[in-house]
Structure 1
Amino acid sequence: MSNKSSLLLVCMIVVFILSGCLNEQNPIEKVYEVLEKVVESEQAFEEQQEPLIELEKKEKKIYDQIISLGMKEFPEVSKLSDEATVIVDDRKKHILKEHESIKASEKEFRALTEIIDEIDEPEQKEKSQKLFDIMIERYAIYDDLFQHYSKALELDKQLYSMFKNKDINLMDIDEQITKINEVYGKIIEANERFNEKTKEYNDTKLSFYKESGLNVKWKE
């Protein structure tokens, strides 16, 4: 638990404005439209980041209080454990909203498969396929991250339940904390890979737009 780190799923949002679209969209314009829908779908994902970080900080503060008190101050430890459990439940609500947002994003994004098949120009087809492959990897990494985070929440809740047992063996608590630290280590590693893949995707998307011939403007 002492190795616990805030989960930062940073997604660089780049806003694109398409001007002069024809009524009959060509494949590249269709790609653009899908990518913009993906940005919209991940808005809820973005909105979960700050609340999650604040909840994690709040829980960490309570956890530190519990450790400093020790089981000799059982009534206070029990009370703090209840407070921490409520926070874990709140974290779960936010991570589920985050997961729902990413899944909606993936559903929108997979529409690119058929659109890519419509692209005739070899270089544009290759670049759009590369963009697709990068994003699919990003979704796979997020799945790992979500599974690890969900497991961590389960283990955290178990730990606070253990703190409420006056007769608990301290060795059992140590073993539980070890399990928790191992899972959070996996979260940190998966989070780093997710952020790297997100940056790669955004860089590739920018390059694709610049070379696509679309009249677009963007800002971070």
Structure 2
Amino acid sequence: MLWKKSLFISLFILVIVLSACSGTATSEQMYNHLEEAVELEQTFQKQQQEIVTLEQEEQEIYSQVIDLSMDEFDKIKELSAQALDNIETRQEKIELEKESMDTSKEEFSNVDDMIADLEDETVSEKADEMSNVMMNRYDAYDDLHESYAKSLELEKDLYTMLQEEDLEQETLSNHITELNDSYQNVIEANETFNELTTEYNTLKKEFYEAAEIEVEYEEDMSSEEKKSDQDDTDEPEKEKQTDSDD
């Protein structure tokens, strides 16, 4: 039997340093909610790192399993049990991620109620466009989470099947095909999510510029590190408001 799985879930990493805004202008209040929403997503950083490590461990387990013969069935069962523990841990971690995203969405929803109070039409239009993209991004994450959760269930079924001594090759092959198709859906959902993250970053910068909110953009890694990781993650950028002359 042969199965090659290729996926590292690419959830973005967010760490932000917030500074107090001076004044109570609507746009500055929106800044607070926008950056707090990003702050509430920073659980992703830890969970992303740990999920990638667990995926690598599971892939190593699978590699060992497919190298074993039925004469070593006890070892296959032992390794499959380890893989099931690994999957359960990943399920717990993606639920932590989901909770973090839900709290971020709740915080971000405060922005929608404030857009109508913006007096400048250009700023209002830019804020509305930014908000729509961010809400689409939250929806895209829900699709990603659902797809990944389904794939984990199929993975769990796979390792349960591998503990059956009378497992037929055709049954196994059909399940592996279904699992790989499921992971392809995850990859596509992740691409959509990352594209919306990039679009949101751009629109948020444009909103800050239109509203004349001065910010500095911080990087959490060097350019070379960023380049090496760009196929695996996409992340909203960190923004810290600078001192204003107002």
Distance across 2 between alignment mates of 1:216 and 1:36: 11
RCO greater where, 1 or 2, for CA within 8 Å and sep 6 or more? Answer: 1
Q: Which position in structure 2 is the counterpart of 1:104?
A: 103
Q: What is the aligned-residue identity percentage?
A: 35
Q: Which position in structure 1 is the counterpart of 2:230?
A: none
Q: Which position in structure 2 is the counterpart of 1:58?
A: 57
TM-score scaled by structure 2?
0.84
The answer (yes or no) to whether the contact 2:14–2:44 under 8 Å persists in 1 is no
The 3-state SS of whatever aligns with 1:69 is coil
The answer (yes or no) to whether the contact 2:84–2:159 under 8 Å persists in 1 is yes
Q: Which position in structure 1 is the counterpart of 2:10?
A: 8
Q: Which position in structure 2 is the counterpart of 1:133?
A: 132
Shift of 1:18: 5.2
The 3-state SS of whatever aligns with 1:94 is helix
The answer (yes or no) to whether the contact 1:131–1:204 under 8 Å persists in 2 is yes
TM-score scaled by structure 1?
0.93
The 3-state SS of whatever aligns with 1:218 is strand
The answer (yes or no) to whether the contact 2:83–2:159 under 8 Å persists in 1 is yes
Q: Which position in structure 1 is the counterpart of 2:40?
A: 41
The alignment covers a number of residue pairs equal to 217
Shift of 1:216: 2.6
Distance across 2 between alignment mates of 1:125 and 1:18: 22
The 3-state SS of whatever aligns with 2:4 is coil
Structure 1 gap ranges (5+)? none
Are the structure 2 counterparts of residues 70 and 108 from structure 1 closer, same or farther at C-alpha, using a change threshold of 3 Å? farther
Distance across 2 between alignment mates of 1:142 and 1:171: 34
Distance across 2 between alignment mates of 1:46 and 1:162: 33
Are the structure 2 counterparts of residues 170 and 32 from structure 1 closer, same or farther at C-alpha, using a change threshold of 3 Å? same
The 3-state SS of whatever aligns with 2:115 is helix
Distance across 1 between alignment mates of 2:201 and 2:14: 7
Distance across 2 between alignment mates of 1:196 and 1:8: 12
Deviation sequence 1:139-193 (CA, Å, 0-9, x none): 1111111011110111111110101110111211111111110010000111111
Across the aligned residues of Structure 1 and Structure 2, the Cα RMSD in angstroms comes to 1.5
Distance across 2 between alignment mates of 1:215 and 1:18: 12
Deviation sequence 1:36-61 (CA, Å, 0-9, x none): 11011101122210000000000001
The 3-state SS of whatever aligns with 1:193 is helix
Q: Which position in structure 1 is the counterpart of 2:226?
A: none
The 3-state SS of whatever aligns with 1:188 is helix
Structure 2 gap ranges (5+)? 220-246
Q: Which position in structure 2 is the counterpart of 1:181?
A: 180
The 3-state SS of whatever aligns with 2:67 is helix
| Structure with greater helix percent | 1
The answer (yes or no) to whether the contact 1:9–1:49 under 8 Å persists in 2 is yes
The answer (yes or no) to whether the contact 1:16–1:36 under 8 Å persists in 2 is yes
The answer (yes or no) to whether the contact 2:51–2:90 under 8 Å persists in 1 is yes
The answer (yes or no) to whether the contact 1:18–1:216 under 8 Å persists in 2 is no
Distance across 2 between alignment mates of 1:208 and 1:17: 18
Q: Which position in structure 2 is the counterpart of 1:149?
A: 148
The 3-state SS of whatever aligns with 1:217 is strand
Distance across 1 between alignment mates of 2:138 and 2:15: 16
Distance across 2 between alignment mates of 1:38 and 1:12: 10
Deviation sequence 1:125-151 (CA, Å, 0-9, x none): 000001100101111111111011110
The answer (yes or no) to whether the contact 1:14–1:218 under 8 Å persists in 2 is no
Q: Which position in structure 1 is the counterpart of 2:158?
A: 159
**What does 1:70-85 align with in structure 2 at a 5 Å threshold?**
70-85=69-84
Which deviates further from its counterpart, 68-77 or 179-188? 68-77
